[in-house]
Amino acid sequence: MISVFLKTVNEVDVEDLYSLLQSFNPLENLNLPTAPIPPIKVFRMPDRPQTSRDVYYGNGMGICVGRIRKCDVLTLKYVVLGHNTIRGGAGMGVLNAELLKVRGVL
């Protein structure tokens, strides 16, 4: 889990970031077995994501984002949760192999 503090050149609305994250799906329609749909689960609850409840989203391959809010010092702040082992090197290696196969490289 990480806390992100974001500074942008232009003003960014909280709702715009929610919409952007919810619509992000670069692997859509590729039918990759380990790719969660959607890849990012966005929470609006003030206490989510939580490690004990959300780390296995998408069988551990998904990313959870929440607590998006304005920041008094920078532009926005939010929390990101991902499973370091599953989504990390091992899982991404498998997902990359699936993508290479679909694209005809393997």
| C-alpha to C-alpha distance for 71 and 77, rounded to whole angstroms | 6
- For the whole prediction, is pTM greater than 0.75? yes
User: Cα torsion for 57, 60, 61, 64, to the nearest 10°?
Assistant: 40
Domain boundaries, the chain: 2-102
pLDDT of the residue at 80: 98
| Residue 57 pLDDT | 97
For 47, residues 6+ apart whose C-beta sits below 8 A from its C-beta are 67
Q: What 3-state class would DSSP assign to 63?
A: strand
- What superfamily in CATH does domain 2-102 come from? Dihydrodipicolinate Reductase; domain 2 (3.30.360.10)
Radius of gyration of the chain (CA): 15
One pLDDT digit (tens) per residue for the chain, 106 residues:
999 999 999 989 999 999 999 999 998 899 999 999 999 999 999 999 999 999 999 999 999 999 999 999 999 999 999 999 898 878 999 999 999 999 999 8
- Are 57 and 36 a contacting pair, CB within 8 Å? yes
